[in-house]
A and B are shown apart, each in its own frame.
Chain A
Amino acid sequence: SQQGEEDPQALSIQEGENATMNCSYKTSINNLQWYRQNSGRGLVHLILIRSNEREKHSGRLRVTLDTSKKSSSLLITASRAADTASYFCATASGGSYIPTFGRGTSLIVHP
């Protein structure tokens, strides 16, 4: 069963716009990660946020975590066509080193 669920399932925007994706999860977590996947192949790690953190930035990426709502959001600012990909959140709970992935958000950025 999926721990994290991304929303929306699909997102289509114009280049230059911001893209926001959300992830909700069910049980308490140690950390939450966001990954990007191009063309159904390997995933690339984007950012990790720990349960005691509320916000992290990396370049054009901004991730927030609200543990009271069991949710996280990934914001991509000033999107580019190259940002077109699927984005997944992954959560780790308890003493597990096995992250659980959601089904992903498919982002299309039109040039």
Chain B
Amino acid sequence: GAGVSQSPSNKVTEKGKDVELRCDPISGHTALYWYRQSLGQGLEFLIYFQGNSAPDKSGLPSDRFSAERTGGSVSTLTIQRTQQEDSAVYLCASSSRDRGAYEQYFGPGTRLTVT
């Protein structure tokens, strides 16, 4: 079946503009994660959705960042008034939160460049 998809694959934007990044998780996966990865760094957790529960937003770096997940499926990460330090690869992952099933399936990421 289809894996996790993300769009766009690359996005170049001017400082101060808003951007929207999209993630389509694997069908049936109830958990969805957003991460950010700067060059040569590990993954920085941003936000976690699980079913109809309130999302865990503890990783969002500022109030310029927000995310929503509609109908328990597609998710959109929005960055308002982008800054140069927002430049990174944004990765989305989904998982089936069965008992003990922590394995995450990642999308190819969106490379965001803020000029």
Chain A positions within 8 Å of B, measured between CB atoms, are 2, 30-31, 33, 35, 40-45, 48, 50, 88, 92, 97-104
CB distance from B88 to the nearest CB of A (A): 10
In the complex, which of the residues A88, A97, A103 contacts B50, with contact meaning CB atoms closer than 8 Å? A97
Which are the 6 A-B pairs with shortest beta-carbon distances?
A42-B106, A103-B42, A101-B43, A43-B106, A42-B108, A101-B42
- New A-B contacts (7) at CB < 8 Å, excluding given A41-B108, A43-B93, A44-B106: A40-B89, A43-B106, A45-B103, A48-B103, A97-B48, A97-B102, A98-B45
Q: Is the CB of B103 within 8 A of A33?
A: yes
- With a cutoff of 8 Å between Cβ atoms, the chain B residues found around residue A40 in the complex are 37, 39, 89, 109
Who on chain A is nearest to B33 by CB? A98
Contacts of B41 in A (CB 8 A): 103
Residue of A nearest to B40 (CB): A103
Known A42-B91, A42-B109, A98-B56: A88·B43 in contact at CB below 8 Å: yes
Min CB distance B92 to A, Å, is 9
Instruction: Give Cα A31 to B33, complex, Å.
Output: 18
Which residues on A sit within 8 Å (CB–CB) of B29? none
| Total B residues in contact with A, Cβ cutoff 8 Å | 28
Closest partner residue, chain A, to B106 (CB atom):
A42
- B45 vs chain A, min Cβ distance (A): 6
Give the distance in Å from the alpha carbon of A72 to the alpha carbon of B105 in the complex.
22
Identify B100's interface contact among A43, A50, A103, CB under 8 A. Answer: A50
Residues of B within 8 A of A (CB): 4, 31, 33, 35, 37, 39-43, 45, 48, 50, 56, 89, 91, 93, 95, 97, 100, 102-109
CB pair A33 B37 closer than 8 Å: no
Q: How far is the CA of A101 from the CA of B104 in the complex (A)?
A: 12
- Give the chain B neighbours of A2 by CB distance below 8 A: 42
Can you list 18 contacts pairing A with B, beta carbon distance less than 8 Å?
A30-B102, A31-B100, A31-B102, A35-B106, A40-B89, A40-B109, A41-B109, A42-B107, A43-B91, A43-B106, A50-B100, A92-B102, A97-B48, A98-B48, A100-B45, A101-B42, A103-B42, A104-B42
